């Protein structure tokens, strides 16, 4: 009973960090919660007699659970073409205290805007990059988790880092272009400039159940008085708030520099989980 209480206390103590780590690796709050549940099942069955570093031990278990989930996800995607063999998940005694061998890089770049890029990485690349560059886990520890040498773990992280850096640059350029279009749309909507709205909309644009540029322009003309430009999970969008609380989020799909669809989400549970950062004209150069 004493051992179980000790485990519960250590798990609760580090749960926030473990969830953040799982969320970064898996890209989904729901999957991160699933990973933590599986981590707790493994922890609750473990022999804790030889554990000297609970934080490192819990990090290792959570990382292995996430690695298994990433490999299963990749296998499902590649099933039609023949899944690649999973990377080995050999036993590991548990890491010591974190000892990063390089300064952490790109800690802020692993956001929603780059999840598509992270999804193109192999599970081992993704794990090595996130653990080292975001959570400062040493390559010695990472190598033990993925059954690779520290040098091999370093190479995996380096390869992933180059791809993420390239994607970050491309994403910044895309966000800037999308921001200009969304900002222009909001301005045209507020002023009721029908011609400007048509210029921004694809001929087959869709919003709610309204289809076609003329119909969408007519629907939004003069209606966006209270909507404000914002980054929503890192992507330019529009948000309507009441008394400081977001009540509706407008997301825009853009193709060939034209708005092809506008989606409006008003579900409180979904809005609560969004990362919303208001944007203003004077911070344009910083976004």
Angle subtended by helix axes 139-146 and 54-77, to nearest 10? 50
Higher-confidence position of 2 and 213:
213
The kind and range of the H/E element at 259 are strand 258-265
Q: What's this model's pTM, rounded to 2 decimal places?
A: 0.52
The predicted pLDDT at position 44 comes to 86
How far is 100 from 85, CA to CA, in rounded Å?
Answer: 30
User: Which has the closest alpha carbon to 131: 96, 157, 159?
Assistant: 157
Confidence of residue 263 (pLDDT cuts 50, 70, 90): very high
Tell me where in the chain the CATH 3.10.450.50 domain(s) lie: 174-286
Tokens 């969004």, residue located = 274
The predicted pLDDT at position 42 comes to 92
From 44-58, 61-75, 97-111, 196-210, the region with the lowest mean pLDDT: 97-111
Tell whether domain 174-286 is in CATH 3.10.450.50: yes
Is the pLDDT reported for residue 89 higher than 70? Answer: no
Higher-confidence position of 275 and 65:
65
How far is 146 from 25, CA to CA, in rounded Å?
Answer: 14
The predicted pLDDT at position 281 comes to 54
Tell me where in the chain the CATH 1.20.140.160 domain(s) lie: 2-89+110-170
Tens-place pLDDT, residues 133-179? 888 999 999 999 999 999 999 999 999 888 887 776 666 666 688 88
- Would you tell me which CATH number, out of the four given (1.20.140.160, 3.40.1190.10, 3.90.1170.40, 2.10.109.10), belongs to the domain 2-89+110-170? 1.20.140.160
Return the SS3 of 202: strand
Q: Give CA separation, 87 vs 7, 117, 129, 280, in Å.
A: 29, 20, 16, 46
Return the SS3 of 103: coil
The predicted pLDDT at position 90 comes to 35
If you average pLDDT over residues 26-51, what whole number do you get?
A: 87
If you average pLDDT over residues 115-121, what whole number do you get?
A: 76
If you average pLDDT over residues 47-56, what whole number do you get?
A: 82
Is the pLDDT reported for residue 279 higher than 90? Answer: no
How far is 98 from 33, CA to CA, in rounded Å?
Answer: 24
Return the SS3 of 278: strand
The CA-CA-CA angle for residues 41, 47, 53, to 5°, reads 95
- Strands (DSSP E) contained in 125-233 are 201-207, 210-211, 227-232
User: Which has the closest alpha carbon to 60: 160, 143, 133?
Assistant: 143
Judged by phi (left if over 0) then psi (alpha if -120 to 50, else beta), residue 232 lies in beta
User: Which has the closest alpha carbon to 70: 34, 108, 113, 94?
Assistant: 34
User: Which has the closest alpha carbon to 112: 276, 238, 278?
Assistant: 276
Helices (H), the chain: 2-26, 29-44, 54-77, 115-120, 123-129, 139-146, 150-191, 194-200, 213-220, 268-272
Note whether 140 and 95 are within 8 A (CB): yes
The CA-CA-CA angle for residues 152, 88, 61, to 5°, reads 90
Angle subtended by helix axes 2-26 and 29-44, to nearest 10? 150
Tokens 């644009």, residue located = 205
């Amino acid at each position: 009973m004493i051992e179980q209480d000790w485990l519960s206390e250590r798990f609760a103590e580090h749960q926030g960090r473990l969830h953040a780590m799982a969320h970064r690796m898996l890209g989904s709050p729901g999957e991160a919660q699933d990973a933590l549940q599986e981590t707790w099942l493994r922890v609750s069955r473990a022999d804790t007699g030889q554990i000297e570093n609970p934080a490192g031990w819990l990090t290792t278990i959570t990382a292995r659970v996430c690695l298994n989930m990433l490999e299963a996800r990749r296998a499902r995607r590649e099933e039609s073409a023949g899944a690649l063999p999973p990377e080995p998940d050999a036993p590991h005694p548990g890491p010591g205290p974190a000892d990063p061998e390089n300064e952490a890089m790109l800690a802020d770049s692993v956001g929603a805007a780059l999840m598509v890029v992270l999804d193109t990485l192999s599970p081992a690349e993704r794990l090595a990059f996130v653990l080292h560059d975001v959570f400062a886990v040493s390559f010695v520890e990472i190598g033990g988790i993925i059954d690779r040498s520290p040098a091999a773990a370093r190479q995996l992280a380096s390869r992933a880092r180059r791809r993420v850096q390239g994607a970050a640059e491309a994403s910044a350029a895309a966000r800037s272009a999308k921001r200009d279009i969304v900002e222009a749309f909001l301005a045209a909507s507020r002023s009721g400039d029908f011609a400007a709205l048509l210029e921004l909309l694809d001929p087959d644009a869709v919003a709610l159940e309204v289809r076609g540029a003329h119909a969408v322009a007519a629907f939004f003309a003069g209606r966006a008085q209270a909507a404000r430009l914002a980054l929503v999970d890192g992507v330019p969008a529009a948000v309507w708030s009441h008394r400081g609380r977001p009540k509706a989020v407008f997301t825009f799909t853009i193709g060939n520099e034209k708005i092809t669809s506008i989606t409006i989400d008003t579900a409180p549970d979904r809005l609560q989980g969004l990362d919303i950062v208001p944007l203003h004209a004077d911070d344009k150069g910083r976004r």
